[in-house]
Structure 1
Amino acid sequence: MIELLVKALLAYLLGSVMGGLVLGRLTGTGDLRQSGSGNAGATNALRTRGKRFGLAVLAIDALKGVLAVLLLPRLPWPMVESLAVPDQWIALACGVAVTLGHIAPVFFGFVGGKGAATLLGVCIVTVPAAVPWALLGFVITLVLSGYAGLSTLMAALVMLLHVACWSAAGLWSPLGAFASAMFLLVVWTHRENLLRMARGEEARFERAMLWRRWRGSRP
């Protein structure tokens, strides 16, 4: 149990290294949280800093998730514990912790991103078969609606449904509990987006709305 707690703490600290904020300091472009939506994640970076900056933030934040669940659980542990924790539990705990670190980073005043990119990195390792379907759900929703927040929620829902219906683990398993918890976390971090959508105030990615552009170009 001590091993799980220590490695989860390390994962949280890793998650607290914010790609957007670190890049902002290195490039002299300032605090990403002072622009656009005030969020430190890849979506706001893409909107306010451009494609190259946004994709770099996405890559860094996703890499945190990959490293947290791929490397940290495999670190040698010198102690022999009476209550041994399965490796899968440690990996999933690290996945939760690194995502929470991204959302509430200790190094940046506990104000970070919404966790989507980091969670993507976690899922690439823990449920790789579900990732293409989740990304497909994201793209389809974004093309049809233009809402990045709604698209992220759809991706998280597809991930949960894949674990529940098509994975060997099923919903009533550690992986199922993880997928359920992460879906609820994504809903929570995007609650303001949902409220703005309900009021008709949420910004859209107009360039991504290929369906509308295609319909508008028809004679």
Structure 2
Amino acid sequence: MTIALLLLVAYLLGSLSGSLLLGRLRGVDIRTQGSGNAGGTNALRTQGWKFALGTVLVDLGKGVLAVWLALRFGGDVAWLPHAAAGAAVLGHVWPVFHGFRGGKGAGTLVGALLLLWPVSVLVVIGTWLLVLTASGYVGLSTILAGFSLVPLALLTDAPPERLVFAVAAALFLVYTHRSNLARLRAGTESRFERVRIWARLRRSGA
């Protein structure tokens, strides 16, 4: 019962979407604007950096809290914090409080990793920044950042539950970013040209 309750609470926490809660205070639903996604990137594009920052903080926080509760009250069940992290991410993507239409799960995943696997956050963010500044594609950066968890788990001899979680998280990010991949193949994916510092450096050195 305790395990089931903790997983339910983790899912409900995940269902508290930062952009949608803040959007209600502003009288907007960002799912009707921009890309239609309830995540930080669309919040930045449509509502500005302050709104986006609030969105990210809420989404990170609920991932942290879900894992903390599992660690605090879950006893010695090794897989439970990973399952709670997964439940929070599922809640973010399919939030019960918002018609099961949420974001793509990356922010909540990073929040969970802050407690679950702190060193991985440096690898994930480093990979994300490297790909973003090279390509300008946020979706691609997020997918490859997620996949960086898999070699990290293998190289550090991670326990089975961590390796399974890394693989599942990477594949899930591919699923939630499938529309980004489709637009990349079609050549219609939005690109942040301003952050492509490597391209600018190549042009300036040419």
TM-score interval w.r.t. the shorter chain?
over 0.9
1:194 pairs with 181, 184, 187, which one? Answer: 181
- Shift of residue 217 of structure 1? 4.2
Conserved 8 A contact 1:4-1:93:
no
Conserved 8 A contact 1:95-1:119:
yes
**Partner SS, residue 180 of structure 2:** helix
TM-score normalized by structure 2?
A: 0.94
- Tell whether 2:22 aligns with 1:23: yes
1:34 is matched with 32
Q: Which runs of 4+ in 1 moved over 4 A?
A: none
Conserved 8 A contact 1:12-1:101:
yes
Looking at structure 1, the residues matched to 79 and 36 of structure 2 have their Cα atoms a distance apart, in angstroms, of 34
1:142 pairs with 107, 132, 146, which one? Answer: 132
2:171 is matched with 184
* Identity across the alignment (%): 45
Q: What is the root-mean-square deviation of aligned Cα atoms in Å?
A: 1.6
Conserved 8 A contact 1:69-1:95:
yes
Conserved 8 A contact 1:131-1:159:
no
Count of aligned residue pairs for this structure pair: 206
- Shift of residue 191 of structure 1? 0.8
**Partner SS, residue 130 of structure 1:** helix
Looking at structure 1, the residues matched to 56 and 192 of structure 2 have their Cα atoms a distance apart, in angstroms, of 17
2:96 pairs with 106, 121, 127, which one? Answer: 106
The structure with the greater share of residues assigned to helix is 2
**Partner SS, residue 52 of structure 1:** helix
2:158 pairs with 169, 183, 187, which one? Answer: 169
TM-score normalized by structure 1?
A: 0.89
**Partner SS, residue 158 of structure 2:** coil
1:156 pairs with 146, 157, 180, which one? Answer: 146
